[in-house]
Structure 1
Amino acid sequence: MHGPAAPGWLLVALCAATGVYCLLRMRSTVEEQRRAAGGEALMGFGMAVMAVPPAVVAPPRWAGTAYLVVFGAAAAWALFAARTHAHHLHHLVGAFAMVYMAAAMAASPGHHGHGGHGGVPLLTGAFLVYFAGYALWSGVRLVPVSAATGARGTRSAGWGDRPELAHACRLSMAIGMLAMLLTL
């Protein structure tokens, strides 16, 4: 699941920073921000841990199983939360993608990859298409929010409540997920 060390550490930094910002969003006075921030923080930190280059810190044999349990629980929570808020469907897809990568990690602890396959497995391809689309969609949503916020001059909201920063975090996590899936 991991490539060279330098891009791996950049991915770790990006995902950890996103996780920290999402934790800060959990303190928001805007209920919608708080609702999504917890799941996004878990995904950010989980992606950061899974992206640590194994040449630097070899994951223990039980790591894949622990990821399966944590992200399986996150998927169950997202499924429950999606009943009332559609955004949690994205969290559900993200949690399933993390479960999928954790299963690959648990199946081959010393070697992260599909090995021997002539192409990209169907599920990996489906996740790649989904996250590429989500990254494009998030990027498109980011531009109008930034322009509208600047035009209205509504900068009085705390930086944890700014929707363009939440969109930027979602965009960076989608790009991070793409990077992780590409190295799977």
Structure 2
Amino acid sequence: MHGPVSSGWLLVAICAATGAYCLLRMRSRVVEQRRAAGGEALMGFGMTVMAVPAAVFTPPGWVWTALAVVFGGAGLHALWAARTGAGHLHHLIGAGAMVYMAVAMAAPAGHGHGGSGTPLLTGTLLLYFVAYVLVAGVRLMPVAAVPGVAEGAGWGDRPELARACRLSMGIAMVAMLLAV
């Protein structure tokens, strides 16, 4: 990823921490939360790899192909899951954005890290993720206690933390798309 090294490392830290928390959420008692957390952990760790500053480390070209294949598979899984509800549509768009960024980073114009993408597609994805971040930010505003969530709920069963992770990944996606 192009840009200052310090902001790149901050993005790496945020994405890695989000991915790690999503792994913790996979221990939730709620099946749907576990499924969503798995996809979000994959997204967090994939974004971690992509966010490593190019000035520090440029991965071999096969890494971008591998990321494109992995997120292509995640996108197919989200497409299959979207048949049952719109909740997986965001995962489908996120996986598609990751495939797009991996392909753009593999482009020779970017010297293997931070290539150039299609402006129209980049702009469309930016609009989507900016809107997503704004909506996710509003959802974090304090509300009354969530019914069914016990006071002593474990880390994996805290909806406000899950929302905060989704917000941080959305912000990271905006930052990464700006660098494409």
| TM value normalised by structure 2 | 0.92
What residue is the counterpart of 2:115 in the other structure? 113
Tell me whether 1:155 sits opposite 2:157 in the alignment.
no
> Matches of 2:119 and 2:51 in 1, distance apart?
21
* Equivalent residue letter for 2:176: M
* Equivalent residue letter for 1:148: A
**1:57-100 deviation digits (Å, cap 9, x = unpaired):** 11112121111111111111111111123221100000000010
What runs of 5+ residues in structure 1 fail to find an aligned partner?
A: none
Contact 1:2–1:180 (CA under 8 A) maintained in structure 2? no
What residue is the counterpart of 2:81 in the other structure? 81
Tell me whether 1:167 sits opposite 2:163 in the alignment.
yes
Deviation at 1:153, TM superposition (A): 9.4
- Overall identity of the aligned pairs, in %: 69
**1:115-166 deviation digits (Å, cap 9, x = unpaired):** 9xxxx7110000000000000111111114xx3239x995221121010000
Deviation at 1:2, TM superposition (A): 2.4
For these two proteins, the number of residue pairs brought into alignment is: 177
Structure 1 stretches of 4+ with a deviation exceeding 6 A read none
What residue is the counterpart of 2:8 in the other structure? 8
> Matches of 2:149 and 2:79 in 1, distance apart?
37
Q: RMSD between aligned alpha carbons?
A: 1.9
Aligned counterpart for 1:176 among listed residues 147, 172, 175: 172
- Secondary structure at 1:113 match in 2: coil
Aligned counterpart for 2:132 among listed residues 116, 131, 134: 134
